[in-house]
Amino acid sequence: MSNEVNIFHIILVKPLLNLLIWFYNVLPGNDIGLAIISVTLLTRILLYPSFQKSLRSQRQLQQLQPKLEELKEKHKGDKEAETKAVLKFYQENKVNPFSSCLPLLVQLPILIALYSVFRTGLSGEITGELYPFIADPGTITTKLFGVLELAKPNIVFAIVAGASQFVQSKLMTPPKTGSQDKTAAMMSMQFTYVMPIITAVVAMSLPAGLSLYWIITTVFAIGQQWYIMRKH
């Protein structure tokens, strides 16, 4: 195991595995599905400040979009002048166009870590992975409510994961403007329609527990987004 992989395992995978097993031990019925949901909700709560900041930044960008398009039209044909003007415009309005990517960038390593947790931890290979204060549960039942198997792929969960991703993408996509360039329109379409399809297709080959995580985190994010937009 390389140093980078080992550090990733120690910093992210092992703590998440121990957190998952802790929830599994303390929740009624020793339900691994409820443990996954608990870890997911805790993750979303911790990500809330960055999610709120990125959503506010995105809304501010949407409000400034007409002025930004006027600026681009003014410098049309001169890419260097346009780039400088746009950067200055962002600085003057204190807007970071990339801040909306932060929650996804933070969530991605967590998703990768959780995949490792499901692949190794839920197979029962947790010997030597638990902290001294986390009790070894013995054989782990990998079912939600004792019925739905979470260690194997589930097509229904995969479709729901893709559908929830689509709903969130629609909410996050700014309304079209008459002067929206083709590149922006194409990126918007890919984000709204292509990404949910990719999510569903990939989820069909992954443990249903990972799909459950994606469903819960996306639905919770939709709720957070609705709350922030309603509040502000």
Per-residue pLDDT at 137: 83
Per-residue pLDDT at 4: 61
Residue-wise pLDDT for 12-63, tens only, equals 888 888 998 899 999 988 888 899 899 888 888 887 787 777 777 777 777 7
Compute φ and ψ for 143, nearest 5 degrees. -130, 145
Q: Which residue has 């807007």 as its token pair?
A: 95
pTM value is 0.75
Give how many domains the chain has, as a whole number: 1
CA separation, residue 208 to residues 141, 160, 219, 224 (Å): 14, 11, 16, 24
Per-residue pLDDT at 154: 92
Residues of the domain holding 109: 3-231
Q: What is the mean pLDDT of the chain?
A: 79
Number of helices (H), then strands (E), in the chain: 9, 2
Compute φ and ψ for 83, nearest 5 degrees. -60, -45
How far apart are the C-alpha atoms of 122 and 226, rounded to whole Å?
A: 34
How far apart are the C-alpha atoms of 57 and 34, rounded to whole Å?
A: 33
Report helix, strand or coil for 153: coil
Q: Which residue has the higher pLDDT, 128 or 167?
A: 167
Residues 6+ apart with CB under 8 A from 140: 21, 24, 32, 121, 122, 124, 126
Average pLDDT over residues 182-191: 63
Per-residue pLDDT at 114: 74
Residue 76, classified by CB atoms within 10 Å of its CB into exposed (0-12), middle (13-18) or buried (19+), is exposed
Average pLDDT over residues 208-225: 88
How far apart are the C-alpha atoms of 126 and 137, rounded to whole Å?
A: 10
